[in-house]
C-alpha cells in the first residue's frame, strides 16, 4: 500500500456549518508545517498515538453511506493539522468524492507551495490569513507570507467559494496597523471579482491549552484574549472595504 492509498487522521465526526456549509463529515488530518502557539489541535501537529491510517476507498464508502444526512449543502470536510501536508492523497480523495457526487471542503493554512490542484478541485475552501506582517508570519509561525498570499489569490481567481478566517490574537495581529494590512490584501482578493469571497473574525480562545498539558507540551500564550474594541477595529476595516463578513 503506497502513501497515496490512505489518509492519516487523528479524529473524525459530524459538525454543522462551522467546517463548511451544511451538515458535514469532518476528518482531522495529522501533520502540520506551522507552529502557531495557540493551536487548538496540538495532537494534530505530528503523528502521535492518536493517529490512524484510513484507506481512501473506505473514506469514500463512509461518505457515500452518510449522503442522506448531508443536509443544507453538506458533505465532507478535510481539516487538520494541515490538510496539504498530505496533498497527493488528499487530491486523490477529493476527486473520488466528487466522482460520487459529494460536496467537498478543506480547511487550510494555505502556506505550502504546489497545492494549486487541490485549491482548484475542492468545492469550498476555508483558509486562515493570520497576519499581514511578513516577519511575524516567518518568526512566530514558521511560514512564508508570499506563499500564503499567492495561494489565496489563486483560489480567489477560480471564482469558487473562499472563506478567509482571521484568528485575532492580542499580542500578534490586533490594532489599526494590522487591520489596514489585512484590508489591503483582502482588497486584492476582492479585485479578482470572485462573488463568493467571505471573511470571518475568530477571537482568541484557549480550547487547546489543556491538550498541550496532556501531551507534555508547552503552551506559550499567556494572554491572547482580545477586547470588543480590538474586534471592531478590524471589523470596521472589512466593512469600509465592502467585504462580505459572515459568522459561522
* Cβ neighbours around 229 below 10 Å, total: 8
pLDDT over 80 at 71, yes or no: yes
Residue 20 gets which letter from DSSP?
Answer: B
Percent of the chain with pLDDT over 70: 100
Q: What is the pLDDT of residue 27?
A: 98
- pLDDT tier for residue 169 given thresholds of 50, 70 and 90: very high
Q: Which domains does the chain have, with CATH numbers?
A: 3-245 (3.20.20.70)
> Contact 166/234 with Cβ under 8 angstroms?
yes
pLDDT over 90 at 2, yes or no: no
- Model confidence pLDDT, tens digit, residues 172-231: 999 999 999 999 999 999 999 999 999 999 999 999 999 998 899 999 999 999 999 999
From residue 245, how far is each of 72, 124, 194, 225 by CA, in Å? 20, 16, 14, 21
- pLDDT tier for residue 106 given thresholds of 50, 70 and 90: very high
Q: What is the pLDDT of residue 50?
A: 83
Percent of the chain with pLDDT over 90: 93
Does 136 or 50 have the greater pLDDT score? 136
* Cα–Cα distance for residue pair 43/211, rounded to 1 Å: 7
pLDDT over 60 at 1, yes or no: no
Helix 176-190 crosses helix 145-158 at what angle (to 10 degrees)?
A: 40
- Model confidence pLDDT, tens digit, residues 112-141: 999 999 999 999 999 999 999 999 999 999
> Contact 100/70 with Cβ under 8 angstroms?
no
> Cα torsion at 185, 189, 195, 197 (round to 10°)?
-60
From residue 14, how far is each of 25, 27, 28, 112, 192 by CA, in Å? 5, 9, 11, 27, 33
- The reply to whether the predicted model has a pTM over 0.95 is yes
pLDDT over 80 at 47, yes or no: yes
Amino acid at each position: 500500500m503506497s502513501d497515496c492509498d490512505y489518509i492519516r487522521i487523528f479524529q473524525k465526526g459530524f459538525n454543522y456549518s462551522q467546517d463548511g456549509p451544511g451538515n458535514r463529515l469532518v476528518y482531522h488530518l495529522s501533520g502540520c508545517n506551522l507552529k502557531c502557539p495557540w493551536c487548538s489541535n496540538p495532537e494534530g501537529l505530528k503523528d502521535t498515538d492518536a493517529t490512524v491510517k484510513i484507506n481512501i476507498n473506505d473514506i469514500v464508502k463512509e461518505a457515500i453511506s452518510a449522503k442522506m444526512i448531508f443536509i443544507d449543502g453538506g458533505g465532507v470536510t478535510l481539516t487538520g493539522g494541515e490538510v496539504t501536508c498530505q496533498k497527493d492523497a488528499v487530491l486523490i480523495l477529493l476527486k473520488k468524492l466528487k466522482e460520487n457526487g459529494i460536496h467537498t471542503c478543506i480547511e487550510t493554512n494555505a502556506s505550502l507551495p504546489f497545492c494549486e490542484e487541490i485549491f482548484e478541485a475542492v468545492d469550498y475552501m476555508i483558509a486562515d490569513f493570520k497576519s499581514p506582517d511578513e516577519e511575524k508570519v516567518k518568526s512566530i509561525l514558521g511560514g512564508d507570507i508570499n506563499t500564503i498570499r499567492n495561494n489565496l489569490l489563486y483560489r480567489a481567481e477560480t471564482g469558487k467559494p473562499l472563506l478567509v478566517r482571521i484568528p485575532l490574537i492580542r499580542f500578534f495581529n490586533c490594532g489599526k496597523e494590522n487591520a489596514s494590512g489585512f484590508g489591503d490584501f483582502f482588497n486584492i482578493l476582492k479585485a479578482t471579482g470572485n462573488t463568493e469571497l467571505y471573511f470571518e473574525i475568530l477571537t482568541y480562545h484557549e480550547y487547546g491549552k489543556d491538550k498541550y498539558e496532556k501531551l507534555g507540551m508547552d503552551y506559550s500564550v499567556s494572554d491572547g484574549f482580545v477586547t470588543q474594541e480590538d474586534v471592531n477595529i478590524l471589523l470596521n476595516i472589512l466593512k469600509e472595504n465592502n467585504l462580505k463578513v459572515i459568522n459561522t
